[in-house]
Amino acid sequence: MTDQEEIETRLTAAWGAPVTATVPSALPGGASRQTMRFTAEAEGRSRDLVLRRDLSGPAGAETMDLEAKVMAAAAAAGVPVPELVDSGASLGGNPYIVMSHVEGEVIPRRLLRDDAYATARETLAAQFGAIAARIHTMSPDTLDGLGRQDPIAALRALAERWDSPRPSVELGIRWLEDHPVPAVADTVVHGDLRNGNAIVGPEGIRAVLDWELVHRGDPVEDLGWLCVKAWRFGSALPVGGFGTRAQLLDGYEQVAGWRPTDAQLHWWEVYSTLRWVLICRQQAAVHLEGEEDSLEHAVIGRRVCEAEFDLLLALGLTRPEKIEDTLAVVDAAESETVGTGAAPHDAPDADHLLAVVERTLARGELGPQGGGGYLARVAANALRIVRRELLLSAEVTERHRGRLEGLGFATERDLAEALRSGAVTPVNPRVVEAVVGTVRDKLLVANPAYLGRPDAPEEG
């Protein structure tokens, strides 16, 4: 039976009337969850619906069932969510949810740029705060299956499963351990509340999406996750690129009746940024461990340093700086010389060939009908990383070796393990300088423009 036929059968049973459905069409989504849109008609009335399916098969049934229960509870608590239409353990062999389609925009760059959302941007931070507070009114004791982990233990588990010992991660964990904040009563925590996981219209937020990471824990976690620099997309405004921390807390306080302190919010912002470092490394492992031959995930591996840099910013150990991309200098020269061939090869040289492929991909001239699209841009970015590494490798390697030798270590792993064991103090200026310098050098190759992205100013 096809997906279309199964949907018709399921909805006919749910609605008590014969249903005809269109063939579901894929929407952008992650590797583990499939999202598809279709139209269903019954008794002369049609509805636009969305099918969300866990592709892990029966193993994902418990999580998908919990997601459906939480969405229903969220709607009862006044949280804007798509209407839950149907859910079950198997559609095409995989657990699923069918929900109403909500019109609006989810792509963060459009929300931050387009004039249509100018009015919404003024209130989005407060809206997110108010919605988070409504989520936190839900009692975790009424929802069976909500897990809870010690936050720092959860970070350790991520680090040990998906990454080699990393000095920046050790600095972050030590800071979290040394700056504890008061515990508050557990609530339901969305787990991925951010710019990009909400449908927005010109008036503001219409629906909160992606509840698969829901759990019980400290409510301020959701607020800290909203402040991760990765969700700002180049803006200096700390909440999703559209608002201030004060606006976020104002919206939260108005509904929750209490206001997290700046120290609580900062702790969870550091925590969340460190978590994002490890999630990026986990995403890279999809390619590195052979699960999928993925250009996108391979490139993410080289961009983990962006999240590391954000962590060092959150810890106050570095600051943004404008850096000229090495390729800008090289490309300016190549526009005149077109690359002299290195003996015994004819011109153009290897870097020029890489540059031509990069520019062609970046213009979207490869792929069907000349529209290379997103993956072409990812490929162009990969080539830029390769070119910078070829050009800068010798000096970056020498600086890296010098930093480690100056501290008495042979590898980064040795330094990370010394930080973890306490053999080296994380407040040692030479250690901090070495960690910052390494992350900075990685960004010089991976994405030098990221070094100049503005950090959110201190508030208050």
Coil vs helix vs strand at 330: helix
Measured distance CA(176)–CA(126) in Å, rounded: 27
Contact 296, 180 (CB under 8 A): no
Q: Which helix (H) or strand (E) holds 85?
A: strand 84-91
Is 298 a member of any domain?
Answer: yes
Same domain assignment for residues 143 and 9: no
Of the three residues 319, 337, 358, the one that is the final residue of a domain is 319
Q: What is the pLDDT of residue 17?
A: 94
Q: Which of 81, 46, 50, 84 is nearest to 65 (CA)?
A: 84
Place of tokens 């001239």: 365
Q: What is the pLDDT of residue 369?
A: 46
Bond into 24 cis (ω within 30): no
Is 31 a member of any domain?
Answer: yes
CA angle 238, 286, 222 (to 5 degrees): 30
106, 139, 184, 217, 441 from 136: Cα distances, Å: 23, 8, 12, 10, 41
- The β-bridge partners of 40 are 21, 47
Reading the block at residue 294, the tokens are 């993925």
Backbone angles phi, psi at 88, to 5 degrees: -175, 180
In the chain (460 residues long), the average pLDDT of successive 10-residue segments reads 92 94 82 85 94 86 92 97 94 93 95 96 98 97 92 96 94 97 95 96 97 96 98 95 98 98 98 97 90 84 94 97 88 62 55 73 61 72 86 90 95 95 95 96 92 80
Please report the DSSP string for 173-229 in residue order. Answer: HHHHHHS-------EEE-S--STTSEEEETTEEEEE---TT-EEE-THHHHHHHT-G
Same domain assignment for residues 290 and 220: yes
Contact 209, 74 (CB under 8 A): no
Same domain assignment for residues 403 and 359: yes
Place of tokens 């062999």: 93
Of the three residues 80, 100, 120, the one that is the final residue of a domain is 100
C-beta atoms surrounding 281 within 10 Å? 23
C-beta atoms surrounding 206 within 10 Å? 17
- The β-bridge partners of 51 are 36, 98
Measured distance CA(448)–CA(438) in Å, rounded: 13
Same domain assignment for residues 364 and 410: yes
Residue 136 Rama label (left phi>0; alpha psi -120 to 50; beta): alpha
Instruction: Name the burial class of residue 47, with classes exposed (0-12), middle (13-18) and buried (19+) by CB atoms within 10 angstroms of its CB.
Output: middle
Is 451 a member of any domain?
Answer: no
> Which residues, including other chains, have CB under 8 Å from residue 120's CB and lie 6 or more apart?
111, 200, 201, 202, 203, 204, 205
Measured distance CA(439)–CA(415) in Å, rounded: 14
Same domain assignment for residues 136 and 92: no
Fill in the amino acid letter for 198. Answer: A
Q: CATH number, domain at 63?
A: 3.30.200.20
Of the three residues 100, 117, 151, the one that is the final residue of a domain is 100
Contact 308, 168 (CB under 8 A): yes
Same domain assignment for residues 138 and 62: no
Which residues form the domain of 41? 3-100
Is 457 a member of any domain?
Answer: no
- The β-bridge partners of 54 are 33
Residue 226 has, within 13 A of its CA and on its CB side, a CA count of 30
Same domain assignment for residues 287 and 175: yes
Percent helix, percent strand, percent coil in the chain, to nearest 5: 55, 15, 35
> Which residues, including other chains, have CB under 8 Å from residue 230's CB and lie 6 or more apart?
276, 306, 307, 310
Place of tokens 């005809």: 20
Considering its fold, how many domains does the chain have in total? 3
Instruction: Name the burial class of residue 88, with classes exposed (0-12), middle (13-18) and buried (19+) by CB atoms within 10 angstroms of its CB.
Output: middle
> Which residues, including other chains, have CB under 8 Å from residue 460's CB and lie 6 or more apart?
246, 262
Fill in the amino acid letter for 384. Answer: R
Measured distance CA(175)–CA(192) in Å, rounded: 23
Same domain assignment for residues 134 and 197: yes
Q: CATH number, domain at 248?
A: 3.90.1200.10
Contact 229, 216 (CB under 8 A): no
Is 271 a member of any domain?
Answer: yes
Contact 284, 262 (CB under 8 A): no
Same domain assignment for residues 377 and 251: no
Is 420 a member of any domain?
Answer: yes
Same domain assignment for residues 273 and 135: yes
Q: What is the pLDDT of residue 307?
A: 97
Q: What is the pLDDT of residue 72?
A: 96
Same domain assignment for residues 402 and 434: yes
- Ranges of H-type helices in 303-446: 304-314, 326-337, 350-362, 373-407, 412-421, 429-446
Is 450 a member of any domain?
Answer: no
> Which residues, including other chains, have CB under 8 Å from residue 368's CB and lie 6 or more apart?
none
Is 455 a member of any domain?
Answer: no
Same domain assignment for residues 301 and 196: yes
